[in-house]
Structure 1
Amino acid sequence: MQAAIRPEATSPEVVVGLIGCGVMGRGIAQIAALAGATVRLTDSREGAAEAAKTELMATFRKLAERGKLNAAAVDAAAARLHPCKGLPELAGCHMVVEAIVEDLNAKKALFATLENLLGADVILATNTSSLSVTAIAAGLKHPERVAGFHFFNPVPLMKIVECIGGLLTDDSVVDYLLALGTHWGHVAVRAKDTPGFIVNHAGRGYGTEGLRLLAENVATVPALDAILRDTAGFRLGPCELMDLTGLDVSHPVMESIYQQYYEEPRFRPQGLTRQMLAAGTLGRKTSHGFYRYDAEGKKQPIPEKEQASEMPSSVWLSRESPELAERIAALVAAAGVPLESNELPSPDALCIVTPLGDDATTCCVREGLDARRTVGVEALFDASKRRVVMTTPATEAGAVAMACGLFGASGIPVSVVRDSAGLVTQRVVAHIINIACEIAQQGIAAPQDIDRAVTLGLGYPVGPLAWGDRLGPMMVLTILKNLQEQTGDSRYRPSPWLQRRALLGLPLLQQEI
């Protein structure tokens, strides 16, 4: 492809055509106009382009009232917005961004029409979130100038844009979009044309593993959400997040990614959300999802089962993981309970194991403990806001009460869950890290870009690869191997990216030559 005759991405001479004046289209138009580009707005709906400019001008005035813009900037941005009556008025644009309905045939038909209206050097960018850029470009005379330019809603606040090249896209086109997205105030990352690109691909781990825990009856909905918020630092639990997004959006994406990857086990959905979708319990938008919501959209709390609480006379602590044992020993000491030092526990001691990818039953049997008075405790993740206790099928109520008394002595809430390989937080976070490792292994994006895209696009407390480095690649590998061995499920098979770096003592963020 010859070098396109277009101004530098930072030039005020850039003219952008924006097709589709819905929420996404208006958001893209807003950041483009504020960055100095001229934006020509068009929509198949009569009057939509003019209405979009009116709404954007109101937005600019609100930003001025908050001190984010001065009057001159408002006037200048407004002057750069030009509603058009049809596609022919896009002639002379340097690039066109479509933000129309997420339908492959509709996008292909639009770009085929644009080919007959625009010069061969004009970039055709699609804001698709789930369709193949290669498929959209297929059949065009100049597929090399088609690329993905995927923003997230709301565009002005979600400071990330994925720049995707299809199989036939010229590298210079993606380079231009990277420069343009950066100039428009976003973090622009390069991605391969694969299902879900970076963010929607990486995001499969959180919801699907949370749903798997519900399917196994490990935890209740509120306990699952609270554990992942308090121990891992997620802003919302997986059920809260799906309620916010709406299952009419999130479940089809789960199924689509799973099918597009030819039923890759890592992305396997669960039947619960399909049932909820059929029932119309979509989340906040229907006032009923995993939770119920009042007329103002406020979540109605689900009361957790009250647990009996008493202090144990003594505690025996597994020494299989000395570092984790030390963390639990500090909590036992703070509660003023004697910690036994014998190789085997006394007959009345509360026995505590600290699983890493194992379940409490396996730990109990491996150490020859009495399962009736044994519990597993999450020791790998933050215990300052919530403690997580896991029972075996044989654990008696008295042992649970002692564990609740011990770990709740300081007033910190205690969540009790059923036996699970990897407890809750370990298996969810390890699954997220593993998927990110596989994204890196497949060369979909550079390691640093994966983390930047995920933190900005999904709001995770830390990038998944950096999270894996913080925990230690060998620790994550151990959790996944134990999960796979105990469940027999290939969804937990470790990525080669993780395995090799763990064995070589390298960070997950290290790119290969």
Structure 2
Amino acid sequence: MTVGVLGAGTMGSGIVQVAAQNGHPVVLVDLNEQILNKSKAQLEKIMNRLVEKGKITQEQAEQTQANVSYSQDIHDFKNCGIVIEAIIENLEIKSKVFCQIEQIVPKGCILASNTSSLSIASIGSALQEPSLTIGIHFFNPAPLMPLVEIIPAVQTSEETLKTARDLIDSWKKVTVLCKDTPGFIVNRVARPFYGEALRIYEEGIADFATIDWAMTSIGGFRMGPFTLMDYIGNDVNYTVTETVFTAFYFDPRYKPSFTQKRHAEAGYLGRKSGRGYFDYSEGAENPAPNEDALLGQQILDRILAMLINEAVDAVFLNIGSKEDIDLAMTKGVNYPKGLLCWADEIGLDVVLNRLEDLFHEYGEDRYRPSPLLRRMVRDNERFFG
């Protein structure tokens, strides 16, 4: 099957590498010749590095590069069996481009969106054959991150779903099935990791460094929330939060933070701009954390309770299976444990008590416990075992 990829940015280029390394002829289309050339040079550089490390042979590197053709014309998608778009997160643009591509590709070609939070049903609604639309959401960097969220829209046919999932599975990726709702699994369930950390900072409980220390040193997370937001980019992370918040009809659980908004407005975007919550300029010294064990545990308990509540609610609303939700959070954002498994370890009653304490203290709906959590505590149930 020939794979088409639209958009030669970081994500598009990563998807191209994965498909080409798995033996597919790939057509990469981008209107910007400079970005196309950069993508081609980057693939060559990555292949050379993999050869040097002994991960692949010179022959494999050359074959992977030979599998990719580069174009500025979407008409070159004419022989593709699937086209994956990885362009700007704008519903109108994605939908319009898909309508144009549909007129070019062979009958039965799957049109897949790599959107991280937009409605797949909306993207495919203007197509003549919306049953061929599906969400295939990779995580950055696509060649390294194992997780791919597969999102069928209400219009997606069983055949489209099976073909798309079988293809991604054949690329040795870990696939999880998600309902077509804002943020899917990962970008929905992960919101409190950022949002509650920002809230703790705004209340003056702890600074950026201390919150990050609590989550990494005590919680075992690979990166603290502020380091991770700086890595992702505050502009990108804020936009996803705002998109999810708006899409959920302004549910306070997903409320964006003015702290993050002001950082983005000031150009403090994170690593890419040299400064975010931390200073990344050469020789810069960032504040040391307050390594108070009691404070650190309180920070972890609060953020973790919110994360678990979000994961439980995702099960309650059939966003994904309990197995897929835990898999998504460990393989998609490298959490140390699946949140539902973690909840079993802590005790669902303990998690519920923490949430009820927060709810009573603040009187805010953002802390409301999931009805499923209440039911499971009442019935003395666990998620696993």
TM bucket (normalised to shorter chain) is over 0.9
- The 5-angstrom pairing of residues 273-352 of structure 1 reads 273-295=260-282, 300-303=285-288
**Contact 1:144–1:168 (CA<8 Å) still a contact in 2?**
yes
Partner of 2:294: 389
Partner of 2:165: 178
Aligned with 2:293: secondary structure? strand
Partner of 2:88: 101
Partner of 1:432: 307
Aligned with 1:121: secondary structure? coil
**Contact 2:137–2:148 (CA<8 Å) still a contact in 1?**
yes
Partner of 2:340: 465
Alignment length (residue pairs): 385
Superposed CA deviations along residues 318-370 of structure 1, whole A, max 9, x for unmatched, are xxxxxxxxxxxxxxxxxxxxxxxxxxxxxxxxxxxxxxxxxxxxxxxxxxxxx
Superposed CA deviations along residues 223-243 of structure 1, whole A, max 9, x for unmatched, are 222122221111222222222
Partner of 1:88: 75
The structural deviation recorded for 1:304 is 5.5
Distance 2:252 2:384 in 1: 24
The structural deviation recorded for 1:50 is 5.4
Mark the runs of 5 or more structure 1 residues left unpaired by the alignment: 1-13, 306-385, 391-414, 416-421
**Contact 2:213–2:289 (CA<8 Å) still a contact in 1?**
no
Amino acid at match of 2:59: A
Amino acid at match of 2:161: V
Partner of 1:498: 373
Amino acid at match of 2:103: N
**Contact 1:61–1:74 (CA<8 Å) still a contact in 2?**
yes
Distance 1:198 1:24 in 2: 19
The structural deviation recorded for 1:288 is 2.7
Amino acid at match of 1:59: I
**Contact 1:24–1:154 (CA<8 Å) still a contact in 2?**
yes
Amino acid at match of 1:469: D
1:481 aligned to 344, 356, 368, which one? 356
Residue 40 of structure 2 corresponds to residue 165 of structure 1: no
Distance 2:325 2:248 in 1: 19
Distance 1:151 1:481 in 2: 35
Distance 2:58 2:278 in 1: 44
Amino acid at match of 2:378: L
The structural deviation recorded for 1:58 is 3.0
The structural deviation recorded for 1:85 is 4.8
The structural deviation recorded for 1:110 is 1.0
Partner of 2:237: 250
Distance 1:216 1:173 in 2: 48
- The 5-angstrom pairing of residues 9-408 of structure 1 reads 14-46=1-33, 48-49=35-36, 51-295=38-282, 300-303=285-288, 387-389=292-294
**Contact 1:162–1:188 (CA<8 Å) still a contact in 2?**
yes
**Contact 1:31–1:185 (CA<8 Å) still a contact in 2?**
no
1:444 aligned to 292, 316, 319, which one? 319
Amino acid at match of 1:227: A
The structural deviation recorded for 1:222 is 1.9
Distance 2:343 2:289 in 1: 32
Aligned with 2:112: secondary structure? strand
Aligned with 1:25: secondary structure? helix
**Contact 2:80–2:106 (CA<8 Å) still a contact in 1?**
no
Higher Cα Rg: structure 1 or 2?
1
Cα distance, 1:509–1:164 mapped onto 2, change above 3 Å: farther
**Contact 1:174–1:190 (CA<8 Å) still a contact in 2?**
no
**Contact 1:42–1:48 (CA<8 Å) still a contact in 2?**
no
Range with bigger deviation, 70-79 or 197-206: 70-79
Superposed CA deviations along residues 155-197 of structure 1, whole A, max 9, x for unmatched, are 1111111111112111221222221111112111111111111
Cα distance, 1:276–1:38 mapped onto 2, change above 3 Å: same
**Contact 1:283–1:291 (CA<8 Å) still a contact in 2?**
yes
**Contact 1:165–1:191 (CA<8 Å) still a contact in 2?**
yes
Cα distance, 1:243–1:50 mapped onto 2, change above 3 Å: closer
Amino acid at match of 2:294: V
**Contact 1:291–1:299 (CA<8 Å) still a contact in 2?**
no
**Contact 1:437–1:508 (CA<8 Å) still a contact in 2?**
no
**Contact 2:131–2:157 (CA<8 Å) still a contact in 1?**
yes
**Contact 1:210–1:238 (CA<8 Å) still a contact in 2?**
yes
Range with bigger deviation, 273-282 or 448-457: 273-282
Aligned with 2:178: secondary structure? strand
Aligned Cα root-mean-square deviation (Å): 2.0
Distance 1:507 1:61 in 2: 49
The structural deviation recorded for 1:114 is 1.3
**Contact 1:133–1:166 (CA<8 Å) still a contact in 2?**
yes
**Contact 1:130–1:195 (CA<8 Å) still a contact in 2?**
yes
Range with bigger deviation, 224-233 or 432-441: 224-233
Superposed CA deviations along residues 465-491 of structure 1, whole A, max 9, x for unmatched, are 111111111211121122212221221
**Contact 2:152–2:178 (CA<8 Å) still a contact in 1?**
yes
Distance 2:379 2:187 in 1: 30
Aligned with 2:27: secondary structure? strand
Aligned with 1:185: secondary structure? coil
Cα distance, 1:93–1:389 mapped onto 2, change above 3 Å: closer
Aligned with 1:164: secondary structure? strand
Distance 1:57 1:110 in 2: 29
Partner of 2:383: 508
Distance 2:5 2:256 in 1: 35
The structural deviation recorded for 1:303 is 4.2
**Contact 1:448–1:509 (CA<8 Å) still a contact in 2?**
no
Distance 2:312 2:97 in 1: 36
The structural deviation recorded for 1:507 is 2.0
Identity in percent: 35
Amino acid at match of 1:16: V
**Contact 2:146–2:174 (CA<8 Å) still a contact in 1?**
yes
Amino acid at match of 2:364: D
Distance 1:75 1:58 in 2: 12
The structural deviation recorded for 1:35 is 1.1
